[in-house]
Amino acid sequence: VLMWTFDPGAELRGRIAVGTDGSIFFVTRDGVLHGLDSTGKEIMHRDAAGSSPAALPDGTVVAMESGSAIAAIGPDGAALWNLEIGKSAGPLAVTDHTIYASTGADLVSVSSTGTLNWRVNVGPVTSAAATPDGVVVGTSRGAVTALASDGAVTWTFQPDGGFSGSVAYSDDVVYAGSASGGVYAIDLRTGSPIWHVNSARAVTAGPVVAPSGAIFAGAGTTYGVTADGQVRWTDSSLKPGEAGLIGLGYDGIFEAAADDMGAVIAGDGSYVWTARSFGKITTAASSPSGMLYVGTSTGRIFAVR
């Protein structure tokens, strides 16, 4: 069900960040940070850089203010603080109190009050997921690395062919894709692999973990995997596109396919719905309430329930 659409007048530069109240935030290629409430009304419009804003649980929005300064903006649009960290696309992962971003080969941790916690050289990070004890990151065709909240490296794991796709975290398990094909489940405490599922190609989308424990990944073919590492189903009819796979807060995903098809797929591999009415999908996100936000190459955003 289409709830509303919004046209910012410019193409989206990166991903959509979703607040706990259903508000969304995104940066467009004309250098504007937009914020919309859950009804599609614009509540924020200000200059910004980078491509990846984030929304903290208290409603604070974090984004790059310039090429090298990260900033926090209150729900009322007022600037709270800014901090020079170096050139960055913006936040990769956030918690209640911590913001993680990549700048060059360094991962930086910034407190929610705007102070630099630490800076650690781990390589150019392409994906990150917050954990109860810190953060886990993946570097392109490199390693998966877990860091504690104080910046100490707790373990490093090298997938066959190097890391590819995304890292995800759920219930003390880290999930990561491989450039040589396959998905790994890794013990958060030890960094030891729990299981590995092979795929014919490099993982380019996901893995994504549903609340039920189901894992989804795209590697040319879309895979549905059980929590104990058994392939439940495969689907070669849709090829994951630029926006990849988006978890929907229940046992399912939204897949943005390379041929401008959008589809919601249930945990058993069945299609809930498919649509070609979006156009080319470049990014997507979902809210805890189940709203799906789809961003297209024209900049238009669709809110679908």
What's the CATH number where 151 sits?
2.40.128.630
pLDDT in tens, 260-287: 899 999 999 999 999 999 999 999 999 9
Do the beta carbons of residue 63 and residue 81 sit within 8 Å?
no
**Distance between CA atoms of 157 and 252, rounded to whole angstroms?**
28
2 belongs to a structural domain: no
281 belongs to a structural domain: no
Structural domains of the chain, count = 2
Residues 137 and 82 in one domain: no
287 belongs to a structural domain: no
**Distance between CA atoms of 296 and 260, rounded to whole angstroms?**
10
C-alpha radius of gyration, the chain, whole number? 18
24 belongs to a structural domain: yes
Expressed as residue numbers, the domain containing 208 is 126-236
Longest dimension (CA), the chain: 49
At 72, give phi and psi (nearest 5°): -115, 135
Last residue of a domain, one of 236, 259, 289: 236
**Distance between CA atoms of 122 and 133, rounded to whole angstroms?**
18
pLDDT in tens, 72-115: 999 878 899 999 999 999 999 999 999 999 999 999 999 999 99
Q: Token pair 């919601």 is at which residue? A: 264
pLDDT of residue 95: 95
Last residue of a domain, one of 236, 268, 297: 236
pTM recorded for the entire structure:
0.95
Last residue of a domain, one of 212, 236, 260: 236
3-state SS assignment for residue 65: coil
- Tell me which long-range contacts 267-272 makes (C-beta under 8 A, separation of at least 24): 267/210, 267/212, 267/214, 267/224, 267/232, 268/224, 268/232, 268/233, 269/224, 269/232, 269/233, 269/234, 269/235
Nearest of 19, 64, 24, 21 to residue 40 by alpha carbon: 24
282 belongs to a structural domain: no
pLDDT in tens, 190-246: 999 999 999 989 999 999 999 889 999 999 899 999 999 999 999 998 888 878 899
